[in-house]
Each structure stands twice: as structure tokens, then as C-alpha cells.
Structure 1
Amino acid sequence: MSPHYLAILLLVIGNLAASLSDVAVKILDGGVPVYQYVFIRQLLSALVILPLWLRQPSEQRRLRKPILNIFRAHILIIGSGCMVVAVTHLPLATANAIFYAAPLLMLPLSTLLLKETPPLGKVIATIIGFVGVLVVLRPSEFHWAAVFALGTAMTIALFNITARQLPVEQSIVTTLFWTSVLSLPLTASVALVNWTPIDSHVLLLILGSASLILLYNGLAVAAYQKAQAGNIAVAENSGLLFVTLFGVMWFDEVPDWLTAVGILMIVAPLIPWHSLRVRRATK
């Protein structure tokens, strides 16, 4: 199998894992306080990554730019909390469609924070995507949990943009490890205030969710190392297909035609049409 198609396969499997993680949150159905869930998930993530972190040379394990890493860890805390609320109270397809606004939000944020000047085509595509978000949200039928879905999208966008400021000497494993560890003090303090006893079934669901997200992160890194992002990023859209199918199969969440149109409007600007045309032309 060529590196290009292997990278696409890895991304599809990764998005399947991420979609199943959302299913685990949906099954919990708000039975665990939000930040108790986030704390346990981050703790389990740190424990899973710890052996990989320890296998690195001591220089690679060192935390660089601590303020930036602390900022990103707390962005992750906010986004994870918003995600739990959104997935619990919205259909899976609707919540994830709004999450997909994150790449669209990155354009105005990169202009504001990084002083980048986007081409006109990207500006138009972003506007189309935002209209798609409005179609999915439908202000006349607005659900309060959509605010939390938008909060998740915003934190994802900020998380991705600030990743550009990370030192190249800091490995991905080190970044994932310290992000998890640095998020623990605040999540632990908030979780302990409203701590609820949980059984082994709930703990397994949270462990499954944490492991699946880590699997997605690892597969995504492997995929983007094998092929150019612009050529394979379209495979990320498989996540919306998976959550829509899971919503129909397991939660009786059948999206109406207007939601489907909105999802298409969100996804279409994210597809690298130019790269696809170039690839076809070179065959």
C-alpha cells in the first residue's frame, strides 16, 4: 500500500476511534459530573502516555515554554467540558457538525493572533462554512447546548493555532504527556467539589473514551507524517459520517434534510479541492 493511501486509512481508523469516544460520552448521559469525567480522563491519559514519555531521553522529556503549555492544557480543559455537555444534550451529528467549525474559526483567529493574511478563496469558503453552522443551529430552534458545542470548536481552533508556537525540540509524546499532567490540578480541585461515586462500568467507559482519543491522536500524527496534510485531510470528514451512523443505529438520532445540508456546507470548505485536482491530473 502506498504511503498516501496508508495515511488515509490511518486517519479513517483514527476518526472511527474518536467517534466511538463520543459514543462512550453519550452512553454516560450526564451520569458523571462534567469535570469529574474530565479529571479521570486526563489522569488515565497521563498514565497511558507515561511509559512512552519515560522511554525518551531526558532532554526530550523536558517541558519547554511552560506558560504556553499551561495555557494549552487549560484550553483543553474548557473544550473537554464543553464537549461533554454538547454530546450529552445534542444529537451526535449536530454536536460534531458544530465541532467541525474549528478549522473555519482558525482563519479569523490566525489573522488576529498570528497576523496572517488569508487568500480570498479561503475567506469565501469560511463564510460558506459559517452559514452551514447557522443552518445546523437554526436560530429559531436554538438549543442551549449548542453554545457549548461552539465553545468546543473555539477551544479546538485555539489549541491548534497555539501548537504552531510549540518548540520543535518538544516531541509529540512530551507535549501530550505535559498537556495531560498540567490539566490535572484544576480539574482535580473542581471535580472534588462535586465528586460522585462511580461504578466499574462507568470507569471503563471513561477509560475507553480516553484510550480512543489517544489512539486518534497517535494515528493522526502517524498519518500526517506519511503524507502532506492537504492531500489527506479530507479523510478527517469520515468522523462526521461515523457519528451520524452511530447516532442513527444506537440513539435513534436521524438527522433531517436541513441538518444534512448544513453539514455539507461545513464540510465542503474543509476539502482540499485544489490538491485533489492536482493529484488527478498527475495520475
Structure 2
Amino acid sequence: MLSTRLLSAPLRGALFVVIASFGFSIMNLLVRMASEELPVMEVTFFRNFFAFIFMLPWLLRVGIGELKTKRIKLHFIRSLNGIAAMAVWFLSISLLPMAQAVALNFTVPLFATLGAVIFLKEVVKLRRWIATAFGFVGVLVILRPGTQDVSILMLLPVLAAALMAISVLLIKTLTQTEKPSVTVFYTTIFMTLFSLVPAIFVWEWPSQKIWFAVAGVGLLGAIANLLVTKALAITDASSVMPFDYTRLPFMALIAFFAVGEVPDIWTWVGGGIIAASAIYIAHREARIRRRAQAELSTRDTLRPASHAPRGTV
């Protein structure tokens, strides 16, 4: 079997993301199955609980000493928001055609762009604004207001995307001072505890089949997240982000064979528009970041020797 180490970093990153996308798609199917028997908040708890169990060996290997933080409040807020995003997403998967929900959920980068301007005071140029607007046109293509009744349920994946975008911004803030292992540790612990509280009030013991489903949700969620983290660690996000959108064809195929769902043409067209705009935004952000790094490197290179600290040779 060909080792992934023989592949270049971008190819390995792309492979990790494609496998993760397939894992997320299977996870969504298991969420649908579990939600037919259990309340969504209980499924949310099991997702976090089993993810914590499966990630425990990795967390222990990192070592408690490496998990200190001075930003516990921000971890707390990020985890509360993460629970809300997960619960809304699971609810949308349980009530809507799965491919349609996935296509609408592609709007996460669009909301993240808006949030970066509002909360992080980032400067967004005209082309990124046009791409963001273009992405929201894709949402309208899928929903088609005026030609069909737009149920409030159809807005659930968009709400989930907005909440996920807030998580992206919070993680972006945390990574300025925190190691990824620290963020993963506190997020896993807090989200498990926070999801347990509402789950207790609606608790129903799963059947044997559903035990396997909720355990699979946790396992696949943990593995897929680690694969994405690994991909982002070895290559630039803009190189692998296009492969994240394989979730739509994966989800469409799985939903067709598992439950007989067939997405309409507007789901494909709208999903494609949203994905194209998000990919463009990612490439623009990567180009701006590389340019800023190059300018910083150039300034360091051209800095006069008289600026060197005294005592150096």
C-alpha cells in the first residue's frame, strides 16, 4: 500500500480532508438514524461524550502540564457556542434532506468573513465582498423564495453556519495565544459537560442499534476533526479547502442509497455557487497573508545593521 509520506504535503492534506469529508457524511447519516429515536440534545451529548472517550488517549499523551491556560473564560464561551451550533446542525440534519442541509451549511466562510469585519475589525476589500454576496446568492438559489414555500426549517442549516462561523472566529482568537492541543482539550471537556445538562431533561435510553449509531457519531466526529487538523498543520488552508466541498456529493450518494433522498438541481447549483465563493475567499485570504508575511520578511532583511542589539557581531 502506498504510504502517504510519499505524497507531497498539499496532496496529503487534500487526501486527509477528502477522507474527513466522507467521515462527516457518514456521521450525518448516523445522526439522522439516532434522531429518529432520541432527542437531538441527547444525540449532541453522545457525540461529545464518545468523542471525548476516543480522544482521551491522545489527550493523556499530550500531558496535563501542556494544557494550562489563562483564557478559560473564552474557552467557556467558545464551547457554549459550539454546543448551540452542533445542536442546530443535528436538528437540521434530522428534519431536512441531508444534501440540501449540507449545501446550505457551506455558508460558514461567508459568515466568518462578515464576523471578521464586525468583531475582529479586519479590512475586507471589494473583491471579497463581491464573493461573499455571490455566496449568499447561492443560498437564495437553493431556497428559491417566491417560487416555493420557504419553511423556517430550511433556515436551520444557515443558522448553524452562522454559529459555526462564530466558533471559527473564537478559535482564531484563541490560537493567538493557545496551542491547538489546549483548545481541543477544553472544548472537548466543556462541550461534553454542557451538553449533558439539557440531555438529562429529555433522556431516553437508546436501543442496542442506536448505541452503535451514537458511538459511531462520536468516533467519526473525532477522527474527521483530527484529520482536518492534521491537514491544516501540514499545508495551507486554501490548498485543501476546495476538497472540503466533496461533502455534498458524498452526502448526496449516502442519502440516496440509505434513505432514498434525491437532491434537486437547485441544491447542486446553489451549493456550487456557495462553494465557489468560499473557495475564492479562502484563496484571497491566503494571498493577502502571504503578501503580508513577505513584506515583513523584506523589512527584516533590509533593516539597517545599526538596529542590531549591542554586543552582537
Q: Kindly indicate whether residue 206 of structure 2 is the aligned counterpart of residue 198 of structure 1.
A: yes
**2:32 alignment counterpart:** 26
Match for 2:167: what amino acid?
A: F
On the 8 A contact 1:34/1:84 being kept in 2, the answer is yes
User: Aligned partners of 1:255, 1:43: CA distance in 2, in Å?
Assistant: 32
Alpha-carbon offset, residue 185 of structure 1: 3.4
Q: Tell me the equivalent position of 2:169.
A: 161
Of 219, 228, 234, which residue of structure 1 is paired with 2:236? 228
Which of 80, 83, 104 aligns to 1:74? It is 80
Is the partner of 2:262 in helix, strand or coil?
A: coil
Equivalent pair of 1:49/1:173 in contact (CA under 8 Å) = no
Task: Return the alpha-carbon distance in structure 2 between the equivalents of residues 118 and 16 of structure 1.
Answer: 32
Kindly name which structure, 1 or 2, has the bigger radius of gyration based on alpha carbons.
2
1:255 Cα deviation from its structure 2 partner: 1.6
Deviations 1:159-206 (A, max 9, x none): 111111115563323322211211233322211111112122111111
Which of 45, 67, 87 is residue 39 of structure 1 equivalent to? Answer: 45
* 1: CA distance, partners of 2:192 / 2:271: 34
Displacement of 1:142 in angstroms is 1.3
- State how far apart, in whole Å, the 1-side matches of 2:185 and 2:133 are: 36
Q: CA deviation at 1:275?
A: 5.6
Aligned counterparts of 1:213 and 1:186: Cα–Cα separation in 2: 18
Q: Which residue of 1 aligns with 2:108?
A: 102
Say whether residues 1:267 and 2:285 are aligned partners. no
1:5 aligns with 2:11: yes
Q: Distance in 1 between matches of 2:80 and 2:49?
A: 14
Corresponding residue number in structure 1 for 2:299: none
Corresponding residue of 2:61: 55
Q: How does 1:90-239 map to 2 (within 5 A)?
A: 90-139=96-145, 140-167=148-175, 170-239=178-247
Contact 1:50 1:177 (C-alpha < 8 Å) held by counterparts:
no
Distance 1:125 1:256, change over 3 A: same
User: Residues 34 and 43 of structure 2 are in contact (CA less than 8 Å); yes or no, is this contact kept in structure 1?
Assistant: no
TM-score between both structures, scaled by the size of structure 2: 0.83
Tell me which moved more, 40-49 or 209-218: 40-49
How far, CA to CA, are the matches of 2:282 and 2:185 in structure 1?
Answer: 36
Provide the TM-score with structure 1 as the length reference. 0.91
Equivalent AA in structure 1 for residue 57 of structure 2: P
> How far apart are the structure 1 equivalents of 2:117 and 2:244?
24
CA distance, structure 2, for counterparts of residue 4 and residue 136 of structure 1? 32
Residues 100-127 of structure 1, C-alpha deviations (whole Å, 9 max, x = no match):
1111111111100000111211110110
2:259 pairs, out of 242, 251, 261, with 251
* Aligned counterparts of 1:15 and 1:29: Cα–Cα separation in 2: 21
CA drift of 1:272 comes to 4.0
**Amino acid of the structure 2 residue aligned with 1:243:** M
SS of the residue aligned with 2:219? Answer: helix
Distance in 1 (alpha carbons) for counterparts of 2:69 and 2:45: 21
Amino acid at match of 1:28: A
Task: Give, as a single letter, the amino acid of the residue that structure 2 aligns with 1:250.
Answer: A
Q: Percent identity over the alignment?
A: 25
For residues 123-144 of structure 1, the C-alpha deviation after alignment (integer angstroms, 9 at most, x for no partner) is 1011011011122122332123
User: Residue type matched to 2:207 in 1?
Assistant: D
Alpha-carbon contact 1:237-1:267 (below 8 Å) kept: yes
